[in-house]
Amino acid sequence: MTGVFPKLLKLLPLPSRSFGRAQERSSDVDWREPWIPKGGTCWTIYHPLPIVIDRGQGAKVWDVEGKEYIDMLSAYSAVNQGHCHPAIVQTMVEQSSRLTLSSRAFFNSVFGRFAKVMHEVFGYDMVLPMNTGAEAVETALKLARKWGYMKKGIPEGRARIFSAEGNFHGRTLGVISMSTDPDSRTGFGPYLEGVGPTFEVADVDGDEESEVKTIRYGVIEDLEQALELYGEETAAILLEPIQGEAGIVVPPHGYLAKVQALCKKHNVLLICDEIQTGLCRTGKLLACNWEGIRPDIVLLGKALSGGVYPVSAVLADKSVMLCIQPNEHGSTYGGNPLGCAVAITALRVLIDENLADRAERLGKVFREGVADLKKRGKKGALIREVRGKGLLNAVVFEESASERGRTAWEFCLLLKSKGVLAKPTHRNIIRFAPPLVIEEEDLKRVVRTIGQCLEEIDTLDVIPDDTEAEKTHVDEYAN
């Protein structure tokens, strides 16, 4: 077999010098086209910061040159337990040497334990395991529609699922059909019908065209109007307890409870997408726990595996989950023994290390620290707002206060040069969401570094690693 692989390589349309070769230096990446490794054919789709990460431990990562950074993104909340948590890694190694995949054609010895743990921790009758967050969302859409037809009696083909403006639930076709983000949506139509944040309001007098209204996040009156008009054919409302990609938008307190009351009034399922907000990130096991509500369906992912393996889950009671029967939905890898074993340990780490309370406490430290920076006269005026819950936070920058019109992207480059990694969401917002195991002193160091960057951002003629290609995507590949 040793001679087969080199022969196969000759058949592949890849430069052999780059196939399987690790990035040895940050300079191995062409920053003019930062998603293209030199000599490679990789297309990462995203627009990453100019850094090549080589290893991680806890709340810190190291690049290929060995420079240390504090990770303030935690892979979009996928490594709440910290990078390479030893207990999770040990479980993965042990299970991978025993059994990794059985498929849904057979039972495996780990799935039952996983289901029991999920029931004990979250209190729902049943769990349907998938792999990615987007798969969990797509599964919930199917489940809600099926429930609408079987239990609520919505006429076939008429079921609606409402979301809210600014939502982010993934990038699959069904999911982007709900999106209001042009970058996610434009150029991928036609879209899935009956899902999203918009609805039509007919002209009362009938002499004008109907008006299309958008359900604004956090505005209960919009949802009330939508359900008054279309409640009979609405199967579900899908919401994030806190909108992540929109810029860590926290709704007014009581909003989710009012949404749940509306859902009960109109016999509509409430689906909470906790893929980014759940698993202790906001200071509670689930973000919806802050308002004491129990959604009909809960979606989990990301940190469900501690960042070492793709695992997602759909939680619901039997009255909802059993609307989907065998052979109507599935996944080859969903519920595999490796993912289940890893998820069990990842949940145990969250609970045993009391990471929810830790996130709540340290989140206050971060927000109070940044709020103090905001009071620093002219430089503090660059901060419009700091907001969030637990260790899911955002700093909103006042671009008009920058003498050079600096952006959140440039601020992140300056942070990177000082050993802090964060990523913009939209032009003037930076998300700060470190692993929940971050040390308090490291978090305070991040606050001090933000303060240093506020002092320097308008004094520098050149921001480290800044190029025009990193500010905007290169269009030639789209033509």
Where in the sequence numbering do the catalytic residues fall?
A: 168, 273, 302
- Give the distance, in angstroms, between the CA of residue 281 and the centroid of all CA atoms in the same chain: 11
Cβ-contact 373, 447 below 8 angstroms: yes
Residue keyed to tokens 């409402």: 162
Looking at the chain, the number of H-run helices and the number of E-run strands are: 16, 17
**What tokens appear for 3 in the block?**
């001679």
Helix (H, G, I), strand (E, B) or coil at 239: strand
Burial of residue 468 (number of CB atoms within 10 Å: 0-12, 13-18, 19+): exposed
Beta strand 160-162 pairing with 195-196: parallel
- Structure tokens belonging to residue 132: 């990615």
Q: What are phi and psi of 69, to 5 degrees?
A: -135, 150
Q: With CA atoms as reference, report the closest residue to 379 among 305, 284, 311, 453.
A: 453
Widest distance between CA atoms in the chain: 78
Under 8 Å between Cβ of 270 and 236: yes
Alpha carbon 367 to chain centroid, angstroms: 21
Nearest to 52 by CA among 36, 72, 39: 36
Q: Name the DSSP letter for residue 29.
A: B
Whole-angstrom CA distances from 148 to 134, 145, 173, 238, 262 are: 21, 5, 21, 14, 16
Structure tokens at 429: 């917002």
Structure token digits, residue 313 = 């889950």
Identify whether the C-beta of residue 137 lies closer than 8 Å to the C-beta of residue 175.
yes
In order, the DSSP letters of 113-177 are: HHHHHHHHHH--SEEEEESSHHHHHHHHHHHHHHHIIIII-PPTT--EEE--TT----SSHHHHT
* Among 109, 128, 99, 95, residue whose Cα is nearest residue 308: 95
Question: What letter represents residue 280's amino acid?
Answer: C
The beta strand positions in 197-333, using DSSP E, are 198-201, 211-214, 234-239, 269-273, 297-300, 312-316
Residue 375, number of CB atoms within 10 A of its CB: 9
The beta-strand segments (E) located in 4-132 are 53-57, 60-63, 68-71, 126-130
- Contact between residue 45 and residue 269 where contact means Cβ atoms under 8 Å apart: no
